[in-house]
Amino acid sequence: MHGETNVRYNPAERRKQARRSGAERRDEEGWQSVPLDPVPAMAIGGEGDLLAAAVDVRTRAHARYSRFKVGAALETVDRVIVTGCNIENATYGLTVCAERVALLKALSEGHEIFTRIVVVADTESPTPPCGACRQLLWEYCGDIDVILANPGGVTERYRLAALLPLPFDRRFL
């Protein structure tokens, strides 16, 4: 092998050598979250209507395989609430999450700036958005408030940057 003799392949050592610090991609400032909302989301008003909308739309979820119904309510900067529920498919891979349904509806209706999203599932523990939803929310909504709830009320609140700390976005392109 081109002049190397008796060199044993050590996968752990190779991974360690191949690791990059990330500094070569961009400076630390590039990783900071970028809020898109012109006013803090919580200043817009209570979350009661948003929570109620997510609880209501959850009842229309199509979850015949998992029986895990989720509702989402996405708020625009103009206080318009756009809802979505999960829609399953037998292959599971074609299932669309409630968060993506709400986002795609909102975008297709011409909304572009969002302040927060409520995600409701009938669980004791908070049910955060999946990775695909986090990625799309980041790209189209920025660092919005993510409010997790069950039918009884809010269980947790996060900024999207806390749920997706190292996002891939147009800064890489």
Residues identified as active-site: 99
Residue 30: alpha-carbon gap to chain centroid: 19
29: its two tokens: 């400032």
- State the DSSP code for 9: P
The rounded distance, in Å, linking the Cα atoms of 3 and 24 is 31
Contacts of 25 (CB under 8 A, 6+ apart): 172
7 HSE (CA, 13 A, CB side) = 9
